[in-house]
Chains A and B, each alone.
Chain A
C-alpha cells in the first residue's frame, strides 16, 4: 500500500483502485480541537480538488478537498460520534472517506511521505 500527500494536508492510502483519504497530523495540530466532521455520502463523485468534507474546530470551519477523482464508497461513521478521533489518530483511525479511483495517474502529481515532510518543514 502506498501513501500520498497533498499541499492542502490531505493524505491518501491506495490499495488496488480504492483510496482512503484523511487529513494529516500536521493539519489536525493546526486546527486544534475538532468538534464536528461533515462527511460525503456514499455514491457521490468527486473530481480532483472538489470540496469533499468539512472539518469544524472550536474556532473555525475548514474545507477538505478530494485529492483525487473518484466515487465515494464509504465514509468513516466513527467520526460522527467521536470527531476528536481526528485529533488523536489523524493518519489511521481518523480517516474521512474511501473512494473508488477513476484516474490512478492523478496520484503521480501528489507527494510521497519524504516530500511532504520536507514541505511541512518549509512552512
Chain B
C-alpha cells in the first residue's frame, strides 16, 4: 500500500488556481522529488499535505487514512515528520532540548508541570542526534549552530515520532554544496533503513539527480511530468519550462 496517496488535489485562492488536479502516490522507502519553477505550486501542495492548508478539491490519504480536517498536529500524530525551507527550531533551547521537546510531545508528556523537562528522554534524544551526526553538539545553544547543523537538527526533530513519511521543503537550501549532499545522503540512508517515504522539493538539480528515485514536475499548478530523473530530463515540455520556449519569439530576431 502506498503510504501517501494524493488524488485530484486542487487549491484556489480568491479566484486564482494555485494547484489543479494533482495526483500521485509515494511508496515506503522511496525518495520522491517535487520540482518546478517559482510559483508552480510546490509549497501550496506541501502545505496541503501537512495540514496547514485545506484543499479546495481532491483527497489526501496518509497510511490509508484521509487527512481531511486534520491539523498539522494531527498529521504528525499519524507518524509524519516535517522540515521547513527555513529551518524552524526552538532558539532558546539547546540542541538536545529541541529533540527532547519533540520526544516529550510524542510521548504525550507535554502537560506535566512538576518534572524537569531536560531530564526526559535523554538517551533517546542522544540516539537521534547521533543518527544525524550531531552527537557531540547536544549541549550547544541552538542559536549558535551553523545553518547546515540547524537543518540536521530539524531532521532529528522530524524523526522523533518515528515517522514513516517525511515531508521536506528544500532540505538542502542555504547550505554549502558539499554539505547539501551530506545531508541528502544521510536522509536517504535513514529513509531506506527505516522504510520511510520521503517527499521533498528542491531547486538544486544536483541534489534532485543525486538523490531522488522519482521526480514530479509541477508548472503553473499542474503536474506536467512524472518519472525517473533521466526520463524527466529528456521530456521536451520540462525543458521548455526550464529554458524558456525559444521558438515562441523567433519573429523578433
Are chains A and B native binding partners rather than an unrelated pairing?
no
* A residues with CB within 8 A of B: none
